Amino acid sequence: MSDNIHDVIIIGAGISGTSAAKLLHEEGLDVLLLEARDRVGGRTYTARAPSFKYVDLGGSYIGPTQNRVLRLAKDLGVDTYRVNVKERTIFQAGGPSTKYVFQGSIPNFYNPFVVMDINNVCKVMDECAAMVPPAAPWDCPKAAEWDKMTVKEWIDKICWTKTAKEWTIILTRLLYAAEPEEISLLYFFWYTQSGKGIMRLASTDNGGQERKFIGGSQTISEKIIERIGKDKIKFNSPVVRVEQNTDDDVIIITTASGEQFKTKHAISAVTPCLLGRMTFDPPLPPKKIQFIQRVPMGSAVKSHLYYKRTFWREKNFNGMAVTGGLVAIALDDTKPDGSCPCIIGLIVGEPARIMTTWTKEERKKRLAEFYAEIFESDEANHPIEYIDNDWLSEEYSGGCYVGVMPPGVLTSFGSVIRTPHGCVHFAGTETATEWAGYMEGAVQSGERAAREIMYAMGKIKESEIWQSEPESLDVPALPFEESLIEKHIPSIPGFLRFLSLSTLIVAGAAILMRNRSIIEQVKNKLTDLF
């Protein structure tokens, strides 16, 4: 047992766990990572083969304002490249008749009522998100009201047009890998706040999906392990028991194989729903036990179809298609040097649950047919290679991208999300206050949990646990400029009120013009008064 004593033990070797390990290692502490899988990276998973070089089957996108992960990547020597958005993008809510081809972030809808409706939805999202405290969404003045509602109820209430409703449903499904009726409205607004507003959160250019890592996102965790030492991690070691001896503050951690490790401090860097697989002694507090039962993972399948050439670019498409069909979003995943032409497809929410019942060959065929219709080319029906990853079947993730919160969870149980249990601290992207659900959130949460331990050891002040991050000089955030129309266009209710008022004024003027005596009476009365 003497060989299994460490200063800090971290459960989970995803980006959250490895970033915590790196920070603690740099402080001179003896760290051990216990990983259930046979690899690092967690929900970042990079497959490698000569035919496609590398491909991210899990989390992969980064962008401006995600400064911690950008700083970490630069320190580790991992470069980024921009996702291709030069040509035209496609939005298709239903069948071909609902297809819009455009350049920029939002489709050029032809119906002015749709434009008013979607513009209003985006404004309200940002206005409501700004009211939510990032570290304590349950303290929002409207927390109780919003946490009782689903996003679906809000969409039905705020949207006046069918297209705006479909657009918002697609956006929700795309961002959370869940259906609008499954998500709390408070959580929805908090997540928007966490991602720096709806435009930053949902955009590719200048947004959360602007860039990818050369070599794949799993490279981040792999390079951390190279730096701190391969002897600092044990693979195939799912933790089943965490026992704290309150007399001497020793934590005994037991893995599924029966191996035991001792430490004074521990970090759990796994998603909340996986905590239920571990036995804690003493038990987790009641609210924490209730919390981890109520945070299911999103449903996502990530697919890649490889082709001989980028036929979509030849048709002036950039490979991006946002749809209400099988694929929530397709993106060009061709390597930055132009090799390995590829379209990535994210299948999320209910379509992902359906897709998991199909064979791999059937998934390949249906996706190819889908792209043939979307990109208007039979060439899409003839991929040369197909690879995907069903995150719903991942035993040590349970889904992807992130643990989502149904109504009632944040206000009733959310306050315990980061609260340590004795000397066990909690990380993971779900516990982040910035870019939760993204790699940036994973880094923030891992480093915060590491600093909690450093504070407990007397190495730093309490005020140093939470730290802001300077903006990346390599990937600066540009403002999203609103056009005059976007700034001043009314909502549909506002337009109707204006129309009604204008009608009343015109009608009133017409009546007055017909009755000169009324005009004279009003004029004489005003003369008497003033």
What pLDDT digit, counting tens, does each position of 57-87 carry? 999 999 999 999 999 999 999 999 999 999 9
DSSP-assigned letter for residue 414: G
- Say if residue 110's pLDDT is above 90: no
Please give the structure tokens belonging to residue 370: 């889908």
Between 355 and 486, residue with greater pLDDT: 355
- Give me the half-sphere count of Cα atoms (radius 13 Å) on the Cβ side of residue 111: 12
Higher pLDDT among residues 440 and 526, named by residue: 440
What's the confidence (pLDDT) of residue 1? 40
pLDDT category at 504 given cuts 50, 70, 90 is low
Task: Find the mean pLDDT for residues 269-290.
Answer: 97
Could you tell me the pLDDT band of residue 501, with boundaries at 50, 70 and 90? low
- Average the pLDDT over 105-109 and give the result: 78
pLDDT number for residue 495: 60
Give the per-residue pLDDT at 4. 87
pLDDT band at 512 (very low <50, low <70, confident <90, very high): very low
Q: Which has more pLDDT, 502 or 245?
A: 245
Q: How many CB atoms lie within 10 A of CB 315?
A: 13
Residue with tokens 């109707």: 496
DSSP state, 368? H
> What is the predicted pLDDT for the residue at 103?
85
Q: Indicate whether 34 pLDDT > 80.
A: yes
Please tell me the total number of residues recorded for the chain in this structure.
Answer: 530
Residue 93's pLDDT is 86
Cα–Cα distances in angstroms (integers) from residue 116 to residues 110, 297, 528, in the given order: 11, 34, 46
**Does the pLDDT value for residue 156 go beyond 90?**
yes
| pLDDT number for residue 527 | 41
Q: Which residues pair with 56 in a beta bridge?
A: 46
**E strands of 311-445, at which residues?**
317-323, 329-332, 342-348, 385-390, 424-426
- DSSP-assigned letter for residue 326: S
Taking residues 9-26, what's their average pLDDT? 98
Rounded distance between C-alpha atoms, residue 494 and residue 496, angstroms: 5
* Per-residue confidence (pLDDT) for residue 284, from 0 to 100: 97
For residue 520, the model assigns a pLDDT of 55
Strand pairing category for 211-213 and 80-82: antiparallel
Q: Give the pLDDT of residue 500.
A: 60
Tell me the whole-structure pTM to 2 decimals.
Answer: 0.92
Q: What is the mean pLDDT of the chain?
A: 92
Name the residue with tokens 């809510």. Answer: 93
Q: Based on the number of CB atoms within 10 Å of its own CB, is 131 exposed (0-12), middle (13-18) or buried (19 or more)?
A: middle
Contact 125, 192 (CB under 8 A): yes
Task: Tell me if 115 sits within 8 A of 185, measured CB to CB.
Answer: no
C-alpha 271/C-alpha 264 separation (Å) is 22
Region 398-413: mean pLDDT is 97
Q: Report pLDDT for 491.
A: 72
Nearest to 147 by CA among 405, 417, 407, 406: 407
Least confident of 41-50, 472-481, 486-495: 486-495
Other Cβ atoms within 10 Å of 145 Cβ, number? 12
pLDDT value, residue 482: 74
| Token pair of 147 as six digits | 């946490």
- For residue 522, the model assigns a pLDDT of 46
Helix ranges restricted to H, 317-438: 350-355, 360-374, 409-413
Question: Do 4 and 261 form a contact (C-beta atoms < 8 A)?
Answer: yes
The whole-number average pLDDT for the span 366-374 is: 97
pLDDT computed for residue 523 by the predictor = 43
pLDDT given at position 105: 72
Classify residue 271 by its DSSP letter.
Answer: -
Among residues of the chain, what percentage have pLDDT more than 90?
85
